[in-house]
Amino acid sequence: MLTPWRTGIVHARDGEIWIRGRNVTALMQQATFTDTIFLLHRGELPTPRERRMLDAILTSVADHGANAPSCATARLSASGNRQSVSANVAAGLLAIGDEHGGAGETCMVLIQAGLARALDQNRTLAEVADAMVAESRTAGRRLPGLGHRVHTVDPRVEILFALAKDDDGQEPAPVRFMRELQRAAAAAIKPLPINIDGALAALLIVLGFPPQAGKLLFIVGRVAGLTAEVAEEYAREKPMRIRIPLDYDGVPPVAD
Amino acid sequence: MLTPWRTGIVHARDGEIWIRGRNVTALMQQATFTDTIFLLHRGELPTPRERRMLDAILTSVADHGANAPSCATARLSASGNRQSVSANVAAGLLAIGDEHGGAGETCMVLIQAGLARALDQNRTLAEVADAMVAESRTAGRRLPGLGHRVHTVDPRVEILFALAKDDDGQEPAPVRFMRELQRAAAAAIKPLPINIDGALAALLIVLGFPPQAGKLLFIVGRVAGLTAEVAEEYAREKPMRIRIPLDYDGVPPVAD
Amino acid sequence: MLTPWRTGIVHARDGEIWIRGRNVTALMQQATFTDTIFLLHRGELPTPRERRMLDAILTSVADHGANAPSCATARLSASGNRQSVSANVAAGLLAIGDEHGGAGETCMVLIQAGLARALDQNRTLAEVADAMVAESRTAGRRLPGLGHRVHTVDPRVEILFALAKDDDGQEPAPVRFMRELQRAAAAAIKPLPINIDGALAALLIVLGFPPQAGKLLFIVGRVAGLTAEVAEEYAREKPMRIRIPLDYDGVPPVAD
Amino acid sequence: MLTPWRTGIVHARDGEIWIRGRNVTALMQQATFTDTIFLLHRGELPTPRERRMLDAILTSVADHGANAPSCATARLSASGNRQSVSANVAAGLLAIGDEHGGAGETCMVLIQAGLARALDQNRTLAEVADAMVAESRTAGRRLPGLGHRVHTVDPRVEILFALAKDDDGQEPAPVRFMRELQRAAAAAIKPLPINIDGALAALLIVLGFPPQAGKLLFIVGRVAGLTAEVAEEYAREKPMRIRIPLDYDGVPPVAD
- Per residue in D240-253, pLDDT (tens digit) is 888 889 999 999 99
* C151 compared with D164, residue with greater pLDDT: D164
Q: Which of B135, B242, D148, B90 is nearest to C87 (CA)?
A: B90
- Tens-place pLDDT, residues B163-180: 999 999 999 999 999 999
Are D248 and A10 a contacting pair at CB < 8 A?
Answer: yes
Indicate if ipTM > 0.90.
yes
In which order are the strands placed within the sheet that holds B22-23? B10-13, B16-19, B22-23
Phi, psi of B66 (to 5 degrees): -70, -10
Distance CA C233, CA C133 (A): 44
Average pLDDT on A182-197 reads 94
Q: Are A60 and B7 in contact (CB under 8 A)?
A: no
Distance CA D182, CA B189 (A): 71
pLDDT score of C151: 57
Res. A242 pLDDT band, cuts 50 70 90? confident
Res. C160 pLDDT band, cuts 50 70 90? very high
Which of B12, B33, B63 is closest, CB to CB, to A9? B63
Element (H, E) at D183: helix D173-188
Are B248 and C10 a contacting pair at CB < 8 A?
Answer: yes
User: SS3 string of chain C?
Assistant: CCCCEEECCEEEECCEEEECCEEHHHHHHHCCHHHHHHHHHHCCCCCHHHHHHHHHHHHHHCCCCCCCHHHHHHHHHHHHCCCCHHHHHHHHHCCCECCEECHHHHHHHHHHHHHHHHHHHCCCHHHHHHHHHHHHHHHCCCCCCECCCCCCCCHHHHHHHHHHCCCCCCCCHHHHHHHHHHHHHHHHCCCCCECHHHHHHHHHHHCCCCCCHHHHHHHHHHHHHHHHHHHHHHHHCCCCCCCCCEEECCCCCCCC
Percent of chain A residues past pLDDT 70, beyond the cut: 98
Q: Are D9 and A250 in contact (CB under 8 A)?
A: yes
Res. C2 pLDDT band, cuts 50 70 90? confident
Find how far residue B162's CA is from the centre of its chain.
Answer: 19
Res. A75 pLDDT band, cuts 50 70 90? very high
pLDDT score of D151: 57
Are D253 and A18 a contacting pair at CB < 8 A?
Answer: yes
CA dihedral over C225, C230, C232, C233, signed as positive or negative? positive
Q: Which residues pair with C22 in a beta bridge?
A: C19
pLDDT score of A153: 83
Closest residue in C to A91 (Cα–Cα): C91
Mean pLDDT, chain B, rounded, equals 94
- Tens-place pLDDT, residues D66-86: 999 999 999 999 999 999 999
Residue B66 sits at the chain A interface (C-beta within 8 Å): yes
Q: Which residues pair with D132 in a beta bridge?
A: none
- Burial status of residue A239 (CB atoms within 10 A of its CB: 0-12, 13-18, 19 or more): middle
Which of C91, C97, C99 is closest, CB to CB, to A95? C91
Whether the per-residue pLDDT at A152 is higher than 80: the answer is no
Burial A97-129 (b: 16+ CB within 10 A, else e): bbbbbbbbbbbbbbbbebbebbeeeeeebbebb
Residue D60 sits at the chain C interface (C-beta within 8 Å): yes
Are A98 and C81 a contacting pair at CB < 8 A?
Answer: yes
Are A76 and C73 a contacting pair at CB < 8 A?
Answer: yes
Average pLDDT on B238-256 reads 88
Which of C31, C62, C243 is closest, CB to CB, to D36? C62
Res. A77 pLDDT band, cuts 50 70 90? very high
Instruction: Report the relative pairing of strands A16-19 and A10-13 from DSSP bridges.
Output: antiparallel
Percent of chain B residues past pLDDT 90, beyond the cut: 87
Distance CA A12, CA D190 (A): 48
CA dihedral over D185, D187, D190, D193, signed as positive or negative? positive
- A73-82, A242-251, B130-139, D31-40: which range is least confident on average? A242-251
Are D95 and B80 a contacting pair at CB < 8 A?
Answer: yes
Average pLDDT on A170-197 reads 96
* C198 compared with A242, residue with greater pLDDT: C198
Which of A35, A85, A224 is closest, CB to CB, to B215? A85
Res. B145 pLDDT band, cuts 50 70 90? very high
Element (H, E) at D169: none
- Tens-place pLDDT, residues D176-232: 999 999 999 999 999 999 999 999 999 999 999 999 999 999 999 999 999 999 999
- The count of C-alpha atoms lying within 13 angstroms of the C-alpha of B119, restricted to the half-sphere facing its C-beta, is 8
Res. D152 pLDDT band, cuts 50 70 90? confident
Element (H, E) at A16: strand A16-19
pLDDT score of B230: 98
Residue B25 sits at the chain A interface (C-beta within 8 Å): yes
Distance CA D206, CA D178 (A): 12
> How far C25 CA sits from the closest chain B CA (Å)?
10
Res. A151 pLDDT band, cuts 50 70 90? low
Q: Are A40 and B224 in contact (CB under 8 A)?
A: yes
Whether the per-residue pLDDT at C150 is higher than 80: the answer is no
Whether the per-residue pLDDT at D8 is higher than 70: the answer is yes
Residue A156 sits at the chain D interface (C-beta within 8 Å): no
Instruction: Report the relative pairing of strands A16-19 and A22-23 from DSSP bridges.
Output: antiparallel
Average pLDDT on A71-79 reads 97
- Tens-place pLDDT, residues C49-60: 999 999 999 999
Q: Which of A124, A62, A32, A88 is nearest to A232 (CA)?
A: A88
- Tens-place pLDDT, residues A87-130: 999 999 999 999 999 888 999 999 999 999 999 999 999 999 99
Q: Where are the alpha helices (DSSP H) in D62-101?
A: 69-80, 85-93
> How far C15 CA sits from the closest chain B CA (Å)?
14
pLDDT score of B149: 62
Is the pTM above the cut of 0.95? yes
Residue B2 sits at the chain A interface (C-beta within 8 Å): yes
Q: Which of B223, B246, B187 is nearest to B91 (CA)?
A: B223
Q: Are D52 and D34 in contact (CB under 8 A)?
A: no
Residue D83 sits at the chain A interface (C-beta within 8 Å): yes
Q: Interior CA angle at A224 toward A221 and A230, to 5°?
A: 135
Whether the per-residue pLDDT at D29 is higher than 80: the answer is yes
Distance CA A91, CA A219 (A): 12
* Residues in chain A closer than 8 A to C100 (CB atoms): 79-81, 239-240
* Residues in chain B closer than 8 A to A19 (CB atoms): 62-63
pLDDT score of A137: 94
**Residue B88, C-beta contacts closer than 8 angstroms, at least 6 positions apart:** B74, B75, B77, B78, B81, B226, B230, B233, D94
Give the Cβ contact number of residue C125 at 10 Å.
20
* Residues in chain A closer than 8 A to B60 (CB atoms): 24, 28
Residue A251 sits at the chain C interface (C-beta within 8 Å): no
Average pLDDT on A175-195 reads 95
Residue D122 sits at the chain A interface (C-beta within 8 Å): no
pLDDT score of A255: 72
- A12-16, C79-83, D183-187: which range is least confident on average? A12-16
pLDDT score of A102: 87
* Widest pairwise Cα distance in chain C: 79
- Tens-place pLDDT, residues C10-23: 999 888 999 999 99
- Burial status of residue A145 (CB atoms within 10 A of its CB: 0-12, 13-18, 19 or more): buried
Best of C11, C14, C23, C32 to disrupt the D interface (most D CBs within 10 Å) is C32
Res. D1 pLDDT band, cuts 50 70 90? low
Mean pLDDT, chain D, rounded, equals 94
pLDDT score of D132: 97
Q: Which chains touch A (3 or more CB pairs under 8 A)?
A: B, C, D
3-state secondary structure of D1: coil
Average pLDDT on B34-55 reads 98
Closest residue in A to D31 (Cα–Cα): A256
Mean pLDDT, chain A, rounded, equals 94
Q: Which of A214, A204, A226 is nearest to A87 (CA)?
A: A226
User: SS3 string of chain B?
Assistant: CCCCEEECCEEEECCEEEECCEEHHHHHHHCCHHHHHHHHHHCCCCCHHHHHHHHHHHHHCCCCCCCCHHHHHHHHHHHHCCCCHHHHHHHHHCCCECCEECHHHHHHHHHHHHHHHHHHHCCCHHHHHHHHHHHHHHHCCCCCCECCCCCCCCHHHHHHHHHHCCCCCCCCHHHHHHHHHHHHHHHHCCCCCECHHHHHHHHHHHCCCCCHHHHHHHHHHHHHHHHHHHHHHHHHCCCCCCCCCEEECCCCCCCC
pLDDT score of C149: 62
- A191-200, A202-211, C139-148: which range is least confident on average? C139-148
pLDDT score of C1: 62
Angle between helices B155-164 and B48-60 (to 10 degrees): 160
Residue A67 sits at the chain D interface (C-beta within 8 Å): no
Whether the per-residue pLDDT at B81 is higher than 70: the answer is yes
Distances (CA, A) of A114 to A146, A172, A211: 15, 14, 14
CA distance between the termini of chain C: 56
Whether the per-residue pLDDT at A7 is higher than 60: the answer is yes
Find how far residue B177's CA is from the centre of its chain.
Answer: 19
- Burial status of residue C239 (CB atoms within 10 A of its CB: 0-12, 13-18, 19 or more): middle
Q: Are B63 and B228 in contact (CB under 8 A)?
A: yes
